[in-house]
Amino acid sequence: MQVPPEIFHQTAESPATPYAWSGLQSAKRNIRQNIGEMPRLREKIERLLPVDRDRAKDLYEELNAHLKRLMDAVSICRLCLLEMAMEKEAAFAGQLHASIRAFSIMTPDYTRFMAVLSGFLRVLPGNDDEKGRSKTTSAAIIGRLMNNIRMGYYPTDLAHVDHIVRGITFPEGVTTNLLDPCCGCGLALRRLADGNNCWTYGVELDESRAEEAQDRLHRVGVGSFFRSRISHEAFHLLFLNPPYLQVIREGGGNARSEKMFLVDAMKYLSMGGLLVYILPYYRITSDIARVLCDNFTDLSVYRFMGKEFDRFRQVAVFGLRRPKTDGSELVDAFLETVACAEDIPELSTLRERRYPLPAVPLPVNVFKGAIFNELELQRQLKSSKSIEKLLERSALDSREKRPLLPLNVGQIGLIAGSGMINGLVECDAPHIVKGRIVKETVRSYQKGDADTILKETQTNKMIFNILTPGGFRSLV
């Protein structure tokens, strides 16, 4: 996994603020706004119900929208707190989210509800001014997030890769194609392929790591995965361990890289192919869950073990790709399986040979990274016959050539002057011939009506210098 450089968020308060922090502050402002708006709307509904039910109904819908925005803001707070390793505060946010979901917006008195929300804001990091703008930040939290960003590269633990391999059935007699869009040095994909009949394909943003990966993998594309050119539905297995932070899209919007990689990479996986998707359990949000439920079947989730889980809170999601369907009814049940880390089974419990790979050969006709790669070009040229055809000699070039008719004097002169018959002539009387052409000016005089006219004519003269056993001769 590699974190791209765009994860920083530029603000007036700080030249480089991690998104987890700025996202938390933005969510806090949204909660504070709803705290002010919702009681006011509830009072207006109460006044309008006896006199204008249609207007009261419109305000009811508006109040419902505020409740949904409030739930979304609390959910964002939970994700940001988990990313900042603030487990207790994140658990509080999860409980608050459940309480908001169960809250009836027609409750006459909002006092207690608003007090709970205000108390939640007070336990969140960052001191705000009277307008809700963050004045100070926590140096410890920002420092920890910035250190994670600077580290940037987090290779998948190989002991956990071994558990993943144990749960895969590789078909006999078929060479399977494995793709890792964030391959790093190629260690994880190499471990997946060892002992199995596989071709390994990786893409890596960092050129030095990509160079190292080329010693381990069959094909490596260098540069941004999103600008690579790869054959669709050409891979039996997609091993996806993307960056875990928020990035800026080319159009300027914000997006989580976990979802961007998933949406863009799954089109390269064949139908029936296996997805191995590694990310923190708390990053399996409703939108990511919807993508998984729409496009994959036989989904299961296993958490990493011991210190690896304590460090990154990672899980491995397994699923077999299917044609896209409406999986909205499956989302809530899937999210329930990852709601609590302690309830997620460990990766060591993954059943042996649980997921089979398709037993069908798949050609990878196109695999090009965003950056020119000399080693990859060499591989492509070796597999292409275009250069061989360009350089191959004609059948006529390899045969001894004889004229169909005897050469005349002019043809002999052209051949000799071009140097084609210079050199040793093997015959009964061996000799060496050197031909050359010299220009001569021939002057002639013609009588005109008044006087004599000088006329000059340029001519080419062929000279053969011949060295024979009997001596040197020059023929003009």
* Digitized pLDDT (tens) for each residue of the chain, 476 residues in all: 544 433 333 333 333 456 677 778 888 999 999 888 999 999 999 999 888 989 999 999 999 999 999 998 998 888 888 877 788 888 888 889 889 989 998 998 899 999 999 989 988 887 554 444 444 445 555 445 544 444 445 678 899 999 999 999 999 999 999 999 999 999 999 999 999 999 999 999 888 899 899 999 999 999 989 999 999 999 999 999 987 655 555 555 556 788 889 999 999 999 999 999 999 888 888 889 999 999 999 999 999 999 888 877 899 999 999 999 999 999 989 988 988 888 999 999 999 999 999 999 999 999 998 887 776 677 667 766 766 677 666 666 666 666 677 777 777 777 776 767 777 777 777 878 887 778 888 887 777 666 777 778 888 777 878 888 878 787 77
Q: Which CATH class is domain 158-383?
A: alpha beta
Beta strand pairing call for 176-180 and 235-240: parallel
- Supply φ then ψ for residue 394, to 5 degrees: -70, 155
Residue 125 CB: number of other CB atoms within 10 A? 20
Using alpha carbons, select from 62, 33, 31, 32 the residue that is nearest to residue 45: 62
What six digits make up the tokens of 330? 């499956």
One-character DSSP codes across 261-306: HHHHHGGGEEEEEEEEEEEEGGG--HHHHHHHHHHEEEEEEEE--H
What six digits make up the tokens of 370? 């965003």
Give the domain ranges of the chain: 5-151, 158-383, 409-475
**What percent helix, strand, coil does the chain show, rounded to 5?**
45, 25, 30
Cα gap 121→131, rounded to integer Å: 14
Give 269's strand partners: 235
Q: Is there a contact between 286 and 330 (Cβ–Cβ < 8 Å)? A: no
Q: What is the pTM of this model?
A: 0.64
Q: Is there a contact between 214 and 220 (Cβ–Cβ < 8 Å)? A: yes
| Inter-helix orientation angle 111-123/53-83, to 10° | 20
- Supply φ then ψ for residue 431, to 5 degrees: -155, 165
In sequence order, the 6+-apart residues with CB closer than 8 A to the CB of 435 are: 416, 417, 419, 421, 422, 462, 463, 464, 465
Beta strand pairing call for 219-222 and 198-204: parallel
Report the amino acid identity of residue 469: P
Report the amino acid identity of residue 74: V
